[in-house]
């Protein structure tokens, strides 16, 4: 069964360091989402891609976060420099573009701890 892949699963870093997360969506899914989920809260959308284009990054802290999906397939989310408050689960999801109300398929997430 097709799955969304994410790596690494766990990342521990010190504040002010740079970190990067990778996501490979389900083949054929043109829409890709990055979410941040702080412990005890629901996921919050950081950025949404349609193919290689950003369609929503209104909640992305652009002074330190960047996201790209150069070929419209896999995607990288980067944080530089990391801050203590960035400790969270980072979830990637994908969905078919044909219907925006389609379910989103989530990857296993990357749990980031900033020391």
Partner 1 sequence: AQKITQTQPGMFVQEKEAVTLDCTYDTSDPSYGLFWYKQPSSGEMIFLIYQGSYDQQNATEGRYSLNFQKARKSANLVISASQLGDSAMYFCAMISGGGFKTIFGAGTRLFVKA
Judge contact between 19 and 11, C-beta under 8 A.
yes
- By the rule CB under 8 A, 104 interacts with partner 1: yes
- Tell which positions 6-65 bind partner 1, by CB under 8 A: 33, 40-45, 48, 56
* Residue among 16, 9, 102, 8 nearest 64 (CA): 16
> Which residues are CB-contacts of 27 (< 8 A; sequence separation ≥ 6)?
2
Task: Kindly tell me which residue out of 5, 20, 89, 96 binds partner 1, with binding defined by CB under 8 A.
Answer: 89
- By the rule CB under 8 A, 113 interacts with partner 1: no
Task: Kindly tell me which residue out of 53, 70, 98, 103 binds partner 1, with binding defined by CB under 8 A.
Answer: 103
């Amino acid at each position: 069964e097709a799955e969304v892949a994410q790596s690494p699963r766990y990342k521990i870093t010190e504040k002010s360091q740079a970190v990067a997360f990778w996501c490979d969506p389900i083949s054929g899914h043109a829409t890709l989402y990055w979410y941040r989920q702080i412990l005890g809260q629901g996921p919050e959308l950081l950025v949404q891609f349609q193919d290689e284009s950003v369609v929503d990054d209104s909640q992305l802290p652009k002074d330190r976060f960047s996201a790209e999906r150069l070929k419209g397939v896999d995607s990288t989310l980067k944080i530089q420099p990391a801050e203590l408050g960035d400790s969270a689960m980072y979830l990637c999801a994908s969905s078919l573009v044909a219907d925006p109300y389609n379910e989103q398929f989530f990857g296993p997430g990357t749990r980031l701890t900033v020391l």
